[in-house]
Structure 1
């Protein structure tokens, strides 16, 4: 199979180095380590519904998401993870797409597979990967849609996109924002563009359940837009029944668990501070500011793949070699923020392999 260059490849690495996958601490995958309480009972409920097809219109699921994000159900498009929505969206938009890099590789791949013309715009890595608004203005006639990841993967920094939104609206373009990691942000309501969806048809927002709620195997994501033309086109291409009964049933509970949501947000505020403070004390690392559940690091003296392999072989730790992100090189790695005890292990072992 083709290597798509993502993290969470513990099975492949375990086979390569003859290790038990269960012994690996996976810091390459950006997933909340906290589990929803009573998850087992919700799964069993979903199992009972597996003898019937899911509702082809996902009426209950869209209503549950609607209550959670405060947007009308008819503006919500559920998918088998946010990735399904990305690929459907690329079939449904105009041909010229601009993408801010470095970022998640599936935007580019899905665009290429659907024959879109891609304009690559660079985030300023010397200024914490900020958007150059003047550069965007100078290119405004060179694209129909603009793809922005916020908070951005791989660096994790959230941006205020209101000036970008106003520019897009003024020029009648489409702004696509991947907010997959937005729920990890301390002041989410300040940065999320969900509040503008019903006002402007120029916005399409991607969300995922699997990151913040810690269930990547569940494969549940959704798109949000009031653009009826795009909604209609997406449903023209969308396969029926792509979301299983487990995910559909879980939506009755996870979005309403206010304690889980609150505790997860508080945990990441505290743990981000701890981990960034500890990592910043390692002289051979340059650390980029983050607002989410992962951290981008630049190795001043080492190559990313060398440190990745050394950590895996000597410490059973898997990190993300970030050298394949457009705009980054072989000195970049990305690590997830996991449980406090696991983060302490990472710090200890990373110092060891770096010689501190």
Structure 2
């Protein structure tokens, strides 16, 4: 009888609880709406975020520098045919680029910013093939044996490009191109087709991959064959605790008004992450635009001539790689000149360009 009394009491308590929830006071709904939130301008929000003083900056730099002791181990793994997959909390962009610039100086390195929405994998594969051909030419005294591949790779099928990247190049077995992919799990690379192309490229004998991941479900992008046979990942836990400044520059901010265009501040963040030569190429375009405000832009042929004279690029391929990166970041755009030729221009006002040039010159 006592047990039944307890059950009746619990039932009565539960019934009274739900009746109270249905009473008039608890049934009132809030009149506030999400659209009523007073959002700030995106430029103001980005400026505030950019001006924040990072905490533990010295400790973060020391941590990134401590990984230099294992650089030679990473090179050994690359030469053994493994791909390097870096994971851990914090941006790994500075770490990977420092590894490539200080340790892989004997090889060609191509950097792919996977955090961009506009990444074109087929263009990346063609650029890798161009770099490999240039590397082989530089090692040989004569180039007669390479006459079969003198046709531009952009006009070849993707299968022919893969055949070249995977072919045996006689005595040049030590030649390879290292492809650095920041955020291989980025929004522009997550679909199955792009990952399949990346896996096929990674499986080529003259291509090695160094990539970073940050998404918690990144491992779901690959099946067993891709992980162990094509990418052949060798994973390294390298937390840096560095902020994702560059990676998040072009992502829409939740607490900001959408639709704002490129600003000098965001452009400066991106340019400061590029090589000095890339910055100098951008300066040529920007200075030309300031000097000729009434023109549609700068002709690509004129840009190449000036860059060659200033020793900023060694070939058209190098210049095209810089321009592709500029266009991916929307730092430079193209439009038709009055004579029908394509010209390059910076989509910023003259004042913003002057401010940008001052910031990257500091």
Please, what TM-score do these two structures have when normalized by structure 2?
0.29
Which of structures 1 and 2 has the bigger CA Rg? 2
Please, what TM-score do these two structures have when normalized by structure 1?
0.29
* Structure ranking higher on relative contact order (CA contacts 8 Å, 6+ apart): 1
Q: In proportion to residue count, which structure has more strand?
A: 1
Q: In proportion to residue count, which structure has more helix?
A: 2
